[in-house]
Structure 1
Amino acid sequence: MTASSLDPRRPFGRLLTAMVTPFKPDGSLDTDGAARLATYLVDEQNNDGIVVNGTTGESATTTDAEKDATLRAVLEAVGDRAHVIAGVGTNDTRHTVDLARAAEKAGAHGILVVTPYYNKPPQSGVQYHFATVADQCGLPMMVYDIPGRTGVAIETETMVRLAEHERIVAVKDAKGDLVETAWVTKRCDLAVYSGDDKLTLPLLSIGAVGVVGVPTHLFGSATKDMISAYEAGDAARALELHHKLLPVFEGFFRTQGVILTKAALMLQGLPAGPVRPPLCEASPAEIARLREDCAAAGLTLGDAVTAAAIESHALSTHHLGATE
């Protein structure tokens, strides 16, 4: 799949989920679980695409080999039915290029590249980073603008220049600045995907085309209905669905999104497993609130595991550096 073969308006579809990386109880990689979860997201939650090895996939604490294994498992499970986007971003341009090439070799349909974090490069360095990765890899790229995590925003002028690259086709926008995003949609043809679930509908109103979501693990179909309603011109219906989903748009992020997402998936009997340190498992109080949030959005979470069992992962699985 090349950039030129994609729909330029929505190159990766409308609804994508930033998938968690399932681990076994001992903290090692669960590739079978990754395949089953990806299948569920496509077949039952109506996802057009899946982002593997992103922030919600705990990319900060998985090895390069684990990233490759997870990507290949997901590609084998759903690669003929959905866009599979590999998260390859690091704060080292050379390492990012290596991961991008590995993703291309594995058969990924695109790459997600986050702004370099911690070292806080100037805008010239930000542009160099993205352009270099795009030059060295043949896959279409979605850049990821999330200054709350990286410490550096991609300025509008930089975004406009990046859009000139034939393989930089989209941006996952978690900047939270609707005015700047409106300038981006006005000045260039990058496909904008919301990177903040609660801002998906507002972003659609200024030119965004979809979302890379997290509550979409369990609320994907409803989120897609909201996007479809807006695109069909039924703003009232889209707003109604937005209001219905607000409790989970906010609730999944009362602590780190992956923590509560994995808790919700485990309660539903879906592959997830523990998180890796320094993250820690959801507490019983957090799970109780998560149940309330999901119920308010129309989903009663199951009891495949208990809240105490989820919390006990943190106490019983000392899985630093665990690998498959």
Structure 2
Amino acid sequence: MTTVHDRPSPPPFGRALCAMVTPFTESGALDLDGAQRLADRLVSRGCDGLVLSGTTGESPTTTDAEKTALVTAVREAVGDRAAVVAGVGTADTRHTVELALAAEKAGADGLLVVAPYYSRPPQDALEAHFLEVADAGGLPIALYDIPARTGTRIEPDTVVRLAEHPRIVAVKDCSYDLLGTQKVLSRTGLAYYAGCDEQILALYAIGAAGYVSTVANAAPEVFRAVLDAFDAGDTRRAAGLQRRAIPLIEAMMAAGLPGTVTTKALLGALDLPAGPVRAPLRPADREMTAGLLTAYEELAAGADQSQA
């Protein structure tokens, strides 16, 4: 008989997590002061976890030293008010282990480890990669399943086996496989975090622990309100809040530009810490930025009216 698991309580890294951008100065240097100000704003407005150096955080174009400095700075800014999860995934197992140990030393609470990209390892090699990282240090790990970017799916059966490791505790789910997600949820105690903003309520309703949101960089209160409404039993309001966010989600995540580009453009328009993107990414143009700002303002206005 298959054991059915309930939602993990409490979630290992909180419920409402932001995939935080990595702010840069106008010259392209790491902006640690900006990172601290942005982190403080996000936590003050409802985030109980911050994921650093992920996809949105431009991890492919930041150095190891910058990644470590970012963890140290954000930890200092948020103290114990929020979990700090460090993205340490690379295409190289040895390099990933080095980043994991550095993040632990810098004060991270957990690690986000993406499937190694480009080389497309088979499932047994993928499993060995994650186990080596988990064995190397003492921090809990969230697997990051985003096959559209890595070229490799962490198959549900592989996730189920990895869940037996005591430090592999969560999954950031960008698989777009609702059946596979439910299979893992039903067979393990892993905390699932929706990694695609349009799926936050859907995955939460079937037992996910919460989300890791890119849109939360600009609107951290929105999805926290979705979870709060659902937990209060007001599923109609939760669904309404999720649908209300769709225009901004679409503008930021499905407009033909990477989410990092659109997020930094919107944050810049709001006079919040962000700065430029690093090449090969290129900044959003004026028309795109204006559209993002309009979608944001319409969402903000709707939130104000619903609270009036």
TM-score range, shorter chain: over 0.9
> What is residue 15 of structure 2 aligned with on the other side?
14
User: Contact 1:244/1:296 (CA < 8 Å) preserved in 2?
Assistant: no
The amino acid of 1:219's aligned partner reads A
> What is residue 318 of structure 1 aligned with on the other side?
none
Q: After superposition, what is the alpha-carbon deviation per residue over 1:228-255, rounded to whole angstroms, capped at 9, x for unaligned?
A: 1112221101001011111112211121
> What is residue 70 of structure 2 aligned with on the other side?
70
Q: 1:109 and 1:90 mapped to 2: Cα distance?
A: 19
Count of matched residue pairs: 293
Q: 1:18 and 1:120 mapped to 2: Cα distance?
A: 24
Indicate yes or no: 2:270 matched with 1:294. no
The within-5 A match list for 1:216-227 is 216-227=216-227
Shift of 1:90: 0.3
Q: 2:98 and 2:301 mapped to 1: Cα distance?
A: 41
Would the alpha carbon gap of residues 274 and 76 (structure 1) be closer, same or farther in structure 2, given more than 3 Å must change?
same
> What is residue 276 of structure 1 aligned with on the other side?
278
TM-score between the two structures when normalised by the length of structure 2: 0.93
Q: 1:122 and 1:299 mapped to 2: Cα distance?
A: 48
Q: Percent identity?
A: 52
TM-align CA RMSD: 1.2
Structure 2, unaligned stretches of length 5 or more? 1-7, 303-308
The amino acid of 1:15's aligned partner reads A
User: Contact 1:246/1:297 (CA < 8 Å) preserved in 2?
Assistant: no
Indicate yes or no: 2:137 matched with 1:166. no
Q: 1:29 and 1:93 mapped to 2: Cα distance?
A: 25
Which secondary structure state, in structure 2, belongs to the residue aligned with residue 25 of structure 1? coil
User: Contact 1:260/1:290 (CA < 8 Å) preserved in 2?
Assistant: yes
Q: 1:233 and 1:195 mapped to 2: Cα distance?
A: 23
> What is residue 265 of structure 2 aligned with on the other side?
263
User: Contact 1:9/1:191 (CA < 8 Å) preserved in 2?
Assistant: no
TM-score between the two structures when normalised by the length of structure 1: 0.88
> What is residue 41 of structure 2 aligned with on the other side?
40
Shift of 1:266: 1.1
Indicate yes or no: 2:173 matched with 1:178. no
Shift of 1:299: 5.2
Which secondary structure state, in structure 2, belongs to the residue aligned with residue 74 of structure 1? helix
**4+ aligned runs moved over 3 Å, structure 1:** none
The amino acid of 2:26's aligned partner reads P
Q: 1:206 and 1:123 mapped to 2: Cα distance?
A: 26
Indicate yes or no: 2:27 matched with 1:26. yes
User: Contact 1:117/1:151 (CA < 8 Å) preserved in 2?
Assistant: yes
Q: 1:40 and 1:128 mapped to 2: Cα distance?
A: 38
Which secondary structure state, in structure 1, belongs to the residue aligned with residue 76 of structure 2? helix
Q: 2:184 and 2:77 mapped to 1: Cα distance?
A: 35
Q: 1:206 and 1:81 mapped to 2: Cα distance?
A: 27
User: Contact 1:49/1:83 (CA < 8 Å) preserved in 2?
Assistant: yes
Q: 1:164 and 1:79 mapped to 2: Cα distance?
A: 31
The amino acid of 1:173's aligned partner reads D
The amino acid of 2:113's aligned partner reads V
The amino acid of 1:178's aligned partner reads L
Q: After superposition, what is the alpha-carbon deviation per residue over 1:184-211, rounded to whole angstroms, capped at 9, x for unaligned?
A: 1111110000000001111112211110
Q: 1:220 and 1:247 mapped to 2: Cα distance?
A: 16
Q: 2:29 and 2:101 mapped to 1: Cα distance?
A: 25
Q: 2:17 and 2:92 mapped to 1: Cα distance?
A: 26
User: Contact 1:19/1:214 (CA < 8 Å) preserved in 2?
Assistant: yes
The amino acid of 1:84's aligned partner reads V
